[in-house]
Amino acid sequence: MSYVPPHLRAAAASPNHRNATAKPQAQTLEPDRKAPLTSRNGTTPAFVPPGRRPNAAGQQPKSAVALEPVFEPWRPSDRVLSLTSEQIEEVQMRLNVDVTVASDSLLPLHLLNLLLIWYTSSYTCLHSSIMKDITLHEYTRPTPIQAQAMPVALSGRDLLGCAETGSGKTAAFSIPMIQHCLAQPPICRGNGPLALVLAPTRELAQQIEKEVKAFSRSSETIKTAVVVGGTNMSEQKYELRAGVHIVVATPGRFIDHLQQGNTSLSRISFVVLDEADRMLDMGFEPQIREVMQSLPKKHQTLLFSATMPVEIETLAQEYLCTPVQIKVGKVSSPTANVSQILEKVTDSDKIDRLLSLLVEEASHTENSSHCHPLTVVFVERKARCDEVAEALVAQGLHAVALHGGRNQSEREAALNNFRKGTTNILVATDVASRGLDVTGVAHVINLDLPKFLVAQIRKSISDVESGNTIAFASGKTARKKEREAAAKCTA
């Protein structure tokens, strides 16, 4: 006998029907009315998207199964657990690290301190594939930010970290993120990502993805994708839909892919907001909030910022759950080994003064047979950037321009040549003021005084033994800076 739906069984059993085996007639509905959706208990169910509706066999498709994220338990080594409170305090002072724990933390302060100190001669308690890649990098001991941040991230806690570029913070979140992804149920096509890193600029996003790949090279399962503006969106779409574990993205482009259905937040359980202060400065707060508000309930968030303005504290209070706050060095202070000089110069004389400084430096370097020092010159506008670079080249100096008007390949070539020393002078707009992590930069010159000079100095020079930063100011700006300097001297 053919199957008869419950609502037609009475009609099928009536004497007026031709026979019991006749096919039931379809239920007719008025054109402007829809059949009510009711469950067995008579209630109206919530709308179920097509991708999550049961298939013909009444089973959910594999990609629609809600998979709970796995947060593996982690404990420090026995050597770390044996440290006394006095020894822990001594290590923190030596590393110049300040650790703050929320007052309503679920973990006792003493126990949390043990989790925070990872003062061993080698990286431990990590997946074997990660250990293999760490060995290839010849890393033997964590940096201060890694020694404090990695145990927090590995233990599943939210983190608010303050550290400078070049301090090793990318590895501080990349290694725990890879460890977390390796512990999750596998992904399939159209599934994922498991982890998301948001960064303010495409250059920084590309640097982060490069480091993530370096620490996941020995793992055959981890797939990464960088999603930024200025590159082919269809290629990014293909990567995302194929299924990736980790996405490193700029907020605007990631939202574009979300709106087009190329990716999903449904399985993200590890989130990193890197250079969060810069993302807010660039106007990405709406996109950040849109992502954070749409995440699954169970997720871990790591927020890194070079400064700690009120906006960052507010963001942390809203989206971080009883975070551990870690500060390495002095927050909102320039790098200690950088001398700062402010020169009062008229606008019309700025380029001439710049040429004088750099030509003199080049002449001195050639006479001493030393390598030409790497110099970054920051300007305000794209046109100004090209003008300055052309003037430097005309004087026989090796200079290149970097700004948002150049295509991606030109920008990458400029940065690569600068890193290798082929070009020793980089003239850039603010697009490169953050996330520019180049070893060996000796001089930073602000031809046009930036709004946040201290932050730009700190983000422009990393991993140097000594360096100089020179800023040219004119008119009211120069007089204002003079008054500020005088006030500091008399304070």
Average pLDDT, the chain: 75
Q: Are residues 406 and 318 in the same domain?
A: no
pLDDT: is 72 or 312 the higher one?
312
Copy the structure tokens of residue 281. 């400065």
Mean pLDDT for the stretch of residues 140-167? 84
Same domain, 432 and 480: yes
Query: Is 17 within the bounds of a domain?
Result: no
Q: 295, 328, 361 — which closes off a domain? A: 328
Residue 344 lies in a domain: yes
- Does a structural domain hold residue 456? yes
Q: Are 471 and 457 a contacting pair, CB within 8 Å?
A: no
Tokens for 178?
A: 């890879």
Q: Are 275 and 404 in a shared domain?
A: no
Does 29 map to a domain? no
Are 362 and 296 in a shared domain? no
Assigned token pair, 449: 């005084």
Domain count, the chain: 2
Say if CB 414 and CB 425 are below 8 A apart.
no
Q: Is residue 211 part of a domain?
A: yes
Q: Choose the final residue of a domain: 328, 354, 378.
A: 328
Give the end of a domain, one of 299, 328, 357: 328
Instruction: Based on the fold, state whether residues 316 and 363 are members of the same structural domain.
Output: no
Clarify whether residues 262 and 209 are in a common domain: yes
In a domain, 95, yes or no: yes
**Is 34 within a domain?**
no
Domain that holds residue 457: 338-490
What CATH number does the domain containing 122 carry?
3.40.50.300
In a domain, 304, yes or no: yes
292-324: per-residue pLDDT in tens?
A: 999 999 999 999 998 888 889 999 999 999 899
Q: pLDDT tens across 26-62, in order?
A: 433 333 333 333 333 444 344 333 333 343 333 334 4
Residue the block writes with tokens 């006394």: 84
Contact 168, 118 (CB under 8 A): no
294 and 370 in a single domain? The answer is no
Q: Assess whether 114 and 184 both reside in one domain.
A: yes
Per-residue pLDDT averaged across 483-487, rounded? 50
- Same domain, yes or no: 256 and 401: no
Q: Which residues pair with 367 in a beta bridge?
A: none
pTM above 0.85, yes or no: no
168 with 211, same domain: the answer is yes
User: Do residue 316 and residue 353 come from a single domain?
Assistant: no
What pLDDT digit, counting tens, does each position of 74-83 carry?
A: 666 677 777 7
pLDDT band (50, 70, 90) for residue 164: confident
